[in-house]
C-alpha cells in the first residue's frame, strides 16, 4: 500500500490541500505547508507553476503567473518538496501539466520527484489512454499516478481510470476550471455513486469546494475533498495565515 492510499483509513475522510509553490514567495510556501499540516490536512498537493494552466481558474492562474515571475522553476519546486518531505510526515503530491514533465524527460522527472520525497503526480491534461509510458515509470519508482474524472466522463473512461489510477481518483465536481463556488452541482452525488460502482480506489472531490457546508456534503458520498482556490484567496487576504488556519480547521471538523 502506498503512503497516499494509507491515508484513507475506514471512517476517515481525507482533507487534501493545494498550494502553488512560490506564491506569493518561497518563504510563505513553507509557512503555509506547516499551517496545513498542523490544522488537519492529510495530503498536500504542490502546484508547479506553468505558463498555460488549462485546468485552472483565475485564482490559481494568477498565483502561477506571479510565482513564475519570481523565478519559481521545476527545480525550485523539487527543492521545496525535498525540504518539506523531511519536515512533514504527510504525503506530498505534485500537480503539474504534461509539457513540463515531457520537456524534463519522463524518467528523469519521475526520478527527481521520487528523490524529493514526493509520493504522487496529478497531470490534468494527460488522458488515461495516453498515460501508459508514464504509468510504467511511476510504478517502477513507487509513485502514484492519479487520474481525473469529470461528470461528463463516459462509462468506458470511468472503467479505464478505475483500472489504472494510483492512490485515489480525483473527481472533478463540475465541468470547467478550478475555483471556489457558492454552490456545488445537484448531480454531484450521482456522479460519485456512478464511479463508485466501478472503482475500488478512494474517491476525492475537487473543483469548487469553498466552505465547511460543502465539505460536509461531499464527505457523505466521497472519501475526501481537495481544496485549492479558496486557500489561495485566504493567503492573499490575510498574510498572517490565521484565516487560513481557521478555515482548514473548520473543514477538518466538517469532515469528522
Please state, in angstroms and rounded to a whole number, the distance separating the CA atoms of residues 46 and 57: 16
3-state SS, one letter per residue, for the chain: CCCCHHHCCCCCCEEEEEEECCCCCHHHHHHHHHHHHHCCCCEEEEECCCCCCCCCCHHHHHHHHHHHHCCCCHHHHHHHHHHHHHHCCCCEEEECCHHHHHHHCHHHHHHHHHHCCCCEEECCCCCHHHCHHHHHHHHHCCCEEECEECCCCCHHHHHHHHHHCCCCEEEECCCCCCCCCCCCCCCHHHHHHHHHCCCCCCEEEECCCCCHHHHHHHHCCCCEEEECHHHHHHHHHCCCCHHHHHHHHHHHHHHC
Residue linked to cell 488537519: 40
Going from N- to C-terminal start, the domains of the chain cover: 13-145+208-255
Q: What pLDDT does 179 receive?
A: 41
Residue linked to cell 500537480: 95
Which residues are 149's β-sheet partners?
171
**What are φ and ψ of residue 168, in 5° steps?**
-160, 175
Of 82, 35, 56, nearest to 242 by C-alpha is 35
Of 156, 109, 101, 103, nearest to 128 by C-alpha is 156
Going 237 to 240 to 242 to 244, the CA torsion angle's sign is: positive
Q: What pLDDT does 180 receive?
A: 44
Q: Grid coordinates in use for 140?
A: 517502477
Q: Grid coordinates in use for 206?
A: 475537487
Count of other CB atoms within 10 angstroms of residue 91: 24
**What are φ and ψ of residue 246, in 5° steps?**
-65, -40
Select the CATH number that applies to the domain covering 13-145+208-255 from these four: 3.40.50.1820, 3.40.50.150, 3.20.20.70, 3.10.310.10.
Answer: 3.20.20.70
Q: What pLDDT does 175 receive?
A: 58
Catalytic residue IDs: 45, 56
Entry pTM: 0.93
List per-residue pLDDT tens for the chain, 256 residues long: 899 999 999 999 999 999 999 999 999 999 999 999 999 999 999 999 988 767 666 888 889 899 999 999 999 999 999 999 999 999 999 999 999 999 999 999 999 999 999 999 999 999 999 999 999 999 999 999 999 999 999 999 999 999 999 999 999 986 544 444 456 778 899 999 999 999 999 999 998 799 999 999 999 999 999 999 999 999 999 999 999 999 999 999 999 8
Q: What pLDDT does 61 receive?
A: 86
Q: CA torsion 218→221→226→228, rounded to 10°?
A: -20
Amino acid at each position: 500500500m502506498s503512503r497516499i492510499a494509507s491515508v484513507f483509513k475506514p471512517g476517515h475522510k481525507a482533507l487534501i490541500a493545494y498550494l502553488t509553490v512560490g506564491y506569493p514567495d518561497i518563504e510563505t510556501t513553507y509557512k503555509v505547508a506547516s499551517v496545513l499540516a498542523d490544522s488537519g490536512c492529510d495530503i498536500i498537493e504542490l502546484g508547479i507553476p506553468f505558463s498555460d494552466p488549462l485546468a485552472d481558474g483565475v485564482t490559481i492562474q494568477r498565483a502561477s503567473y506571479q510565482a513564475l515571475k519570481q523565478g519559481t522553476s521545476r527545480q525550485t519546486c523539487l527543492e521545496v518538496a525535498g525540504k518539506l518531505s523531511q519536515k512533514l510526515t504527510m504525503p506530498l503530491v505534485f500537480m503539474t501539466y504534461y509539457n513540463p514533465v515531457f520537456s524534463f524527460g519522463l524518467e528523469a522527472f519521475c526520478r527527481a520527484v521520487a528523490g524529493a520525497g514526493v509520493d504522487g503526480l496529478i497531470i490534468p491534461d494527460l488522458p488515461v489512454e495516453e498515460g501508459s509510458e508514464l504509468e510504467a515509470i511511476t510504478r517502477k519508482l513507487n509513485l502514484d499516478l492519479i487520474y481525473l474524472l469529470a461528470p461528463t466522463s463516459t462509462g468506458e473512461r470511468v472503467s479505464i481510470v478505475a483500472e489504472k489510477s494510483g492512490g485515489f481518483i480525483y473527481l472533478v465536481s463540475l465541468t470547467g476550471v478550478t475555483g471556489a463556488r457558492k454552490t456545488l452541482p445537484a448531480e454531484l452525488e450521482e456522479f460519485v455513486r456512478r464511479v463508485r460502482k466501478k472503482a475500488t480506489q478512494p474517491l476525492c472531490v475537487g473543483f469548487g469546494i469553498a466552505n465547511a457546508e460543502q465539505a460536509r456534503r461531499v464527505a457523505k458520498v466521497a472519501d475526501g475533498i481537495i481544496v485549492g482556490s479558496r486557500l489561495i484567496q485566504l493567503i492573499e487576504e490575510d498574510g498572517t495565515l490565521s484565516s487560513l488556519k481557521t478555515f482548514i480547521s473548520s473543514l477538518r471538523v466538517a469532515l469528522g
